[in-house]
Amino acid sequence: MINSLINETFKNTRKERRPALLTYTVAGDNTKKKSLEILKSISNYADICEIGFPHNTPIADGGQIQTSAYRAIKNGIKINDVFSIVKEFKKIKKDKPVILMGYYNMIYQYNENKFIDKCKKSKVDGLIVVDFPFPENKIFSLKCKKRKINFIQLISPTTSKIRLKKIIKNSHDMIYYISMLSTTGGKLKVSSNQILKEYSKIKNYNKSKNVVIGFGITEKTIKSLKKADGLVVGSAICKEITNSIKKRQNIVKNVTNVVKKLRNKIK
C-alpha cells in the first residue's frame, strides 16, 4: 500500500539504520485510562504500537499476556472501548501506526464489515488476527486492503516453503515472523542466528516486505536480532505492568523505562 503509515515508519527506521521497535500492550490493562496513558508515554520510544483486544480464551498467548487480558476484562473493557482508546491515541500521535491484535471471535461477533469500518474510523493502520490463518483469511484480508488497512500475515518456523511463498504473495506491507514454536512470552529457545536465517528466507522472496520478528524478545535478547526490519516486544511489557501493580509503583513510568531501555539496545 503506497504511503501507508506502516511503510513510512519502516522507511524512517531504515534510514536511521535500526530496526523498528514494536510494542504490544493490552487495551484496558489495567484500566482504560491507564492503558491510554501508557500508550502515549511509550510511543515516545516505540515506532509502532500494537494494541491487543483482551480475550478470555487466548489459545496462543502465554501467562503474561493472559494475565493482562484477564485484568482488562475484569475492569470492564469492551470492544468499543478499545476503539475509543485508539481514537484518542491517534488524536495526539497521528503519525504513529497502530496495529490491533486479537482473536477472530471478537471480529466475528462484531461483524467483519462493521469491524473494518470501525477500524477505519478510529484510524487503525493494521490488523493481526492470531487464529485466522492463510488461506482462510484471504477474503477478509482483501476487504482490509480495500480500506487501506494492513492485514498482517504471520509466518512461523513450521510454515512450509510453498506456503511461505503464497503467504508472502498475499501479504500487505508487513509480515510477522514468529521466532520459535511457542506461545507469546516463552523463553527464546532458538539461537538468534537460526531465527535470522529463517527471517532472511522471507526477505529473499520479497525484499519490499517489512518483516518483523516477535515472541521471546526481551531486554536480554533484542540486541542479537537487530538486523531485522522490526522487533516486537509484548510479554516483557505486560510483565512490567503486573509487577508495577504488585509493588504499587507508577505503572506508566516503569513501563516507559522498559521501552526506553529496549530502544537503547537497538539504536
Partner 1 sequence: MKLKKKIPLIDQHDKFGFWGGKFGGSFIPETLKKPVEDLTKEFAKLRKDKKFIKKRDFYFKNYIGSPTSFIKLENLTDHLEGAQIWAKIVSEANGGAHKIYNATVHALICKAMGKKYIIGDTGAGYAGKMLSMAAKKFGLKCKIFMGAKDIKRQKPNCDAIRKNGAEIIPVFSGSQTLVDAVSECMRYWVSNCDNTHMCVGSTVGPNIFVKICGWSTTQISRELKFQIKKEFKKIPKRVKLINCVGGGSSAYGFWSEFIDIDRKQVELIGVEAGGPKNSKLHAAPLSRNAKIGILHGAASYVCQNNEGQISETESISAGLDYPGVSPIHCFLKDTQRARYTFATDEEALNAYKLITKFEKLNPSLEPSHAFAEAIKIAPKLDKNTIIIVNSCGDAKKDRDILKQKLGKRK
Of 60-68, 89-97, 196-204, 255-263, the segment contacting partner 1 by CB under 8 A is 60-68
Q: Please say if 8 is a catalytic residue.
A: no
Q: Which residue has the cell 502465554?
A: 62
Sheet (strand 150-151) strand order? 150-151, 126-129, 98-102, 48-52, 20-26, 230-233, 210-214, 174-178, 153-155
Which H or E run includes 212?
strand 210-214
Site track 132-161 with partner 1 (rule: CB under 8 A), x = hit: xxx-x-----------------xxxxxxx-
CA–CA separation, 54 vs 103, rounded Å? 9
In the complex with partner 1, the residue whose CB is nearer, 143 or 163, is 163
Site for partner 1 contains 120 (CB under 8 A): no
- The answer to whether 174 and 150 are in contact (CB under 8 A) is yes
Which H or E run includes 198?
helix 192-205
Site for partner 1 contains 104 (CB under 8 A): yes
Site for partner 1 contains 208 (CB under 8 A): no
Q: Please say if 50 is a catalytic residue.
A: yes
Q: Which of 29, 47, 50, 173 is catalytic?
A: 50
Q: Is the peptide bond before 54 cis (omega within 30 degrees of 0)?
A: no
In the complex with partner 1, the residue whose CB is nearer, 27 or 258, is 27
Site for partner 1 contains 182 (CB under 8 A): yes
Binding site for partner 1 (CB under 8 A): 55-62, 66, 70, 73, 78-79, 103-106, 108-110, 130-134, 136, 154-160, 163, 178, 181-183, 186
